[in-house]
C-alpha cells in the first residue's frame, strides 16, 4: 500500500482546518498591523503563527501516518493472528467491566457520603454503572458500535476451532 502524496494530504480535512486557522490568523494579524490598529503583541503573534503553521502541518501529517500504520498493522494482525487478537479484545472487555464495577462502587460510596453531581446524588450514577456492568457480565453487548464491539472480532475459522480442541 503506497502512501498518499503530499498534495493529496494537503487537501485532507485536517490539513484544510489547519490552513483555514493559520492563514486566517496570518491575514487578520497582517491587516491589523498594516492599518496601524495593532497592539504591540500582534507582531509577535504574527511571527508565532508563521512559524507554527508548517510545524502544525507536520504534526498533523505525522499523526495521519501513525493512524494509517496502526490500521495496517491491525489489518495484518487480524489476518495472521486472529486468535491472539480475539483473546486481546476479550481481555480488554473484561478489564473494562472490572473498571466499570470499581467506578460504580466508588460512585455509590461517594453518593451515600453526600456527594452530588449537578444536583444528582452520585450513588444514582453508581447504580447505573452497576447495571451496565451486570448487563455486560450477563452477555449483553454493551459495547455496540464501539471499539470493543464483539462483532468486530475476527471470525472463528474451522482451523482455529480444531487447534483449540
Domain of residue 59, residue span: 6-78
Residues 130 and 115 in one domain: yes
Last residue of a domain, one of 62, 78, 94: 78
Residue 1 belongs to some domain of the structure: no
List all residues 6 or more positions away from 29 whose beta carbon is below 8 Å from its beta carbon: 38, 42, 45, 46, 49
82 neighbors 75 (Cβ within 8 angstroms): no
Residues 63 and 24 in one domain: yes
The 10s digit of each residue's pLDDT in 68-116 is 888 888 788 777 787 887 888 889 999 999 999 999 999 999 998 888 8
* Number of domains the chain contains: 2
Residue with the three cell numbers 493559520: 22
Question: What's the whole-model pTM score?
Answer: 0.48
Last residue of a domain, one of 43, 78, 113: 78
Residues 40 and 109 in one domain: no
Give 3-state DSSP helix, strand, coil % of the chain, rounded to 5. 75, 0, 20
The 10s digit of each residue's pLDDT in 5-53 is 777 888 888 889 999 999 999 999 999 889 988 788 888 988 999 999 9
Residues 123 and 74 in one domain: no
Amino acid at each position: 500500500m503506497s502512501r498518499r502524496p503530499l498534495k493529496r494530504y494537503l487537501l485532507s480535512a485536517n490539513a484544510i482546518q489547519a490552513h483555514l486557522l493559520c492563514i486566517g490568523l496570518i491575514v487578520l494579524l497582517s491587516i491589523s498591523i498594516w492599518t496601524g490598529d495593532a497592539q504591540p503583541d500582534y507582531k509577535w503573534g504574527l511571527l508565532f503563527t508563521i512559524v507554527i503553521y508548517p510545524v502544525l502541518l507536520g504534526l498533523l501529517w505525522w499523526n495521519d501516518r501513525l493512524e494509517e500504520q496502526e490500521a495496517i498493522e491491525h489489518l495484518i494482525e487480524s489476518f495472521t493472528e486472529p486468535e491472539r487478537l480475539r483473546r486481546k479484545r476479550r481481555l480488554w472487555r473484561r478489564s473494562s467491566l472490572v473498571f466499570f464495577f470499581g467506578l460504580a462502587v466508588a460512585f455509590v460510596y461517594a453518593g451515600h457520603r453526600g456527594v452530588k453531581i449537578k444536583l444528582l446524588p452520585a450513588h444514582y450514577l453508581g447504580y447505573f454503572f452497576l447495571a451496565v456492568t451486570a448487563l455486560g457480565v450477563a452477555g449483553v453487548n454493551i459495547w455496540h458500535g464501539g471499539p470493543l464491539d464483539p462483532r468486530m472480532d475476527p471470525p472463528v475459522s474451522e482451523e482455529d476451532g480444531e487447534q483449540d480442541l
